Each structure stands twice: as C-alpha cells, then as structure tokens.
Homo-oligomer: A and B are copies of this chain.
Amino acid sequence: MTKTPAKPANAIRAKPTKPRREKAAQGRMSAQPEPASEPPSGRVARAAERREAIIVAAMEEFVGRGYAATRLDDVARRAGVAKGTIYLHFKDKEALFEELIRTAIVPLVNRIVPPANPGGSVRDMIELFARAFIQEVATTQRADIIRLIVAEGPRFPAIADFYYREVVSRGLAKLRALIELGIARGELRQPELAHFPQIVVAPAIVAVIWKSLFENHSPLDALEMFRVHLDLIFGERRTT
C-alpha cells in the first residue's frame, strides 16, 4: 500500500559488516537459567515467547499513544527485541495492531460471557454479567483497549467488524435473551427493552469512558452506578 513508485532496490550495500562482539554476551549463555519464564531451550518456544513479548509491548505503546503515533522502534525496545524481529512475526504495523486487538479481546470475552448462571433471578444474572464487565474492564487498564477500539475503529474496519461480531452482537444477543426471560417471568415490565439491550449496558460503557477521561476530575463508582441503574430497570431494590 505504502509504496507506489518503483523501488530502486538497493544499489551498492556499503559496509554492512560490523564486528558484532559484545552483543554475544547479551545472548544466552547456556549456564544461567532465566529469571522469570525459564529457559525454554526449544527454538519454537523461544519464538512464541518473543511473539508474546512483542504483543504485550505493542499493547502498551498503542494504548498509550494511539496507532499512528506509536513507533515500532519503541515497541521493539520495550519488548527487548530488535525491530527486525517484529517483522518475523507480523507482516507490518497494521497486522500487528489488528492481531493485538484480537488476542486482547477473545480472552476478555471468555472471562465475561460464560457465567451461564443456573437458576438465579434474571436481575442476578444481569448483575453478574455487568459486575464481571465492570470489574474486568472498567476498573482495569483494559478499559483503554475499549477506548482504543472506539478511537481507531473507524479507520480499521477489520477491527470494527471483528469487535462487532465477537463482542457486541454476541453480548447483546445474550442480554436480549435474558431480558426476554425476565419479561416472561414477570421480573421486567418493559417489553420494549428487548429491542434495546444497549440500554442495559449503557452505564457500563459510560463508566469505561469516564475512567479513561475524567477519573482524575471526579472519580466514579461504577458498581454503585450500575446498581442504581438496575433498580430503575427492575423496580425497587431488594435490600443489600
């Protein structure tokens, strides 16, 4: 995409040779076992480890500076890897970014959606659902991932699509089912709510944004806000 004009290729590589000496020390002597994640010894394991490190580093950089302003040099440095290594694992900056979002989102969804709680009230189920979301996202720096998606989504349709497919439509479908169950059971008396499950999660979304932008201006108790919201939806609250 980037290049239109023909590439002049490389003319005469000057002196690429450079005594690489001290660098060896930085490599791995066989004697010392690693600090944290032990010596994987297998080449593949090592590679996977580095790939992981790159993703983690890239996450921090992209979240902190946005897509365009992030330098791959910084990502490499943070990952403790040379820039070229990034390109062994990802086609280009964009591929890294998209892959990043994917690997961040999937485990997030799995952690939140599953609780297919057995026989509690619908309110309890929704509360669990939302509580998990708020605790796993709004409270942590994972909120910034959401902000990143909102910020860059329109420029990366692949990401917006993926996010819609894997998170939004799935979550809303689940929510809608719960709402319908609540209506059938008489816990909920607003049948039209099933058309707009977004209303149920709206305060959680707002909490995420609030945390990112205004937390230092005025902190927000997301969980308490959500409880009040549920009182609105389900009528008077049972004692807590």
The residues of A with any CB-CB pair to B shorter than 8 Å are 1-6, 65-69, 93-94, 144, 147, 149-155, 160-161, 163-164, 168-169, 190, 192-193, 195-196, 198-199, 201-203, 205-207, 209-210, 212-214, 217-218, 220, 224-225, 228-229, 231-233
Residues of B within 8 A of A160 (CB): 213-214, 217
Question: Contacts A2-B1, A233-B232 given: A203-B209 contact, CB under 8 Å?
Answer: no
Are B192 and A231 touching (Cβ within 8 A)?
A: yes
Are A203 and B210 touching (Cβ within 8 A)?
A: no
> SS class of chain A's interface: helix, strand, loop or mixed?
helix
Residues of B within 8 A of A94 (CB): 1
Are B193 and A228 touching (Cβ within 8 A)?
A: yes
Can you list the 3 inter-chain pairs with the closest CB atoms, starting with the nearest?
A: A151-B151, A68-B68, A202-B202
- Expressed in whole angstroms, the Cα–Cα distance for A93 and B69 within the complex equals 14
